[in-house]
Copies of this chain bind each other. A is one copy, B any other.
Amino acid sequence: MSEISELEGVFEQLWPLNRSLTGDGVRQTHKILGEMIPMNSIEVPSGTQVFDWTVPPEWHIKEAYVIRPDGHRILDVKDNNLHLVNYSMPFCGRLSLAELEPHLHSLPDNPYAIPYVTSYYNPGWGFCLTHEERENLPDGEYEVVVNTDFKSEGGMTLSEAILPGKTQKEVLISTYTCHPSMANNELSGPLLAAYLFKRLAALPERRLTYRFAFLVETIGAIAYLSLRGEHFKKWLVGGLVATCVGLDEPFVYKRSAQGNTLMDRATEQTLLENNLKHRVMNFYPWGSDERQYCSPGFDLPVGCLMRGSFFERPEYHTSLDNRELISFKAILGSVSAYESICLMMERNLTYKNLVAGGEPQLSKYGLYPKIGAKQEVEQERKDLLWLLSLANGCRDLIEISKRSGVPTARLHETAAKCLAAGIMEQTI
Residues of A within 8 A of B (CB): 50-53, 121-122, 218, 221-222, 225-226, 229, 257, 283-286, 291-292, 294-298, 352-353, 355-361, 363-364, 381-382, 385-386, 388-392, 423
- Contact check, B363 vs A291: say whether CB atoms are below 8 A apart: no
Residues of B within 8 A of A297 (CB): 353, 355-358
Query: What are 5 A-B pairs with beta-carbon distances under 8 A?
Result: A51-B355, A52-B355, A295-B358, A296-B353, A297-B358
- Contact check, B359 vs A389: say whether CB atoms are below 8 A apart: no
- Contact check, B53 vs A361: say whether CB atoms are below 8 A apart: yes
Residues of B within 8 A of A388 (CB): 285, 295-296
Residues of B within 8 A of A390 (CB): 285, 296
| A50 to B285 alpha-carbon distance, docked (Å) | 55
| A284 to B388 alpha-carbon distance, docked (Å) | 11
Given A286-B385, A385-B286, A389-B285, are A359 and B122 neighbors across the interface (CB < 8 Å)? no
In the assembled complex, the CB of A340 is this many whole angstroms from the nearest CB of chain B, namely 28
Tell me which of B121, B257, B283, B386 contacts A361 (CB under 8 A): B121
In the assembled complex, the CB of A106 is this many whole angstroms from the nearest CB of chain B, namely 16
Copies of this chain:
3
Residues of B within 8 A of A50 (CB): 357
Residues of B within 8 A of A359 (CB): 52, 218, 222, 291-292, 295
Tell me which of B53, B221, B296, B355 contacts A389 (CB under 8 A): B296
Residue of B nearest to A365 (CB): B52
- Contact check, A357 vs B389: say whether CB atoms are below 8 A apart: no
Residue of B nearest to A363 (CB): B121
Residues of B within 8 A of A360 (CB): 52
In the assembled complex, the CB of A294 is this many whole angstroms from the nearest CB of chain B, namely 7
Residue of B nearest to A392 (CB): B296
Residues of B within 8 A of A381 (CB): 286
| A297 to B354 alpha-carbon distance, docked (Å) | 9
- Contact check, A122 vs B358: say whether CB atoms are below 8 A apart: no
| A283 to B225 alpha-carbon distance, docked (Å) | 46
Among A297, A359, A363, the most chain B Cβ lie within 10 Å of the Cβ of A359
In the assembled complex, the CB of A297 is this many whole angstroms from the nearest CB of chain B, namely 4
- Contact check, B389 vs A294: say whether CB atoms are below 8 A apart: yes
Residue of B nearest to A257 (CB): B389
Residues of B within 8 A of A364 (CB): 52, 121
| A10 to B218 alpha-carbon distance, docked (Å) | 63
Residues of B within 8 A of A385 (CB): 285-286, 291
In the assembled complex, the CB of A298 is this many whole angstroms from the nearest CB of chain B, namely 7
Residues of B within 8 A of A257 (CB): 389
| A50 to B355 alpha-carbon distance, docked (Å) | 11
- Contact check, A295 vs B389: say whether CB atoms are below 8 A apart: yes
| A359 to B295 alpha-carbon distance, docked (Å) | 7
Having A52-B355, A52-B423, A296-B388, one finds 5 other A-B pairs with CB under 8 Å, namely: A122-B363, A285-B382, A292-B359, A296-B392, A297-B358
In the assembled complex, the CB of A345 is this many whole angstroms from the nearest CB of chain B, namely 25
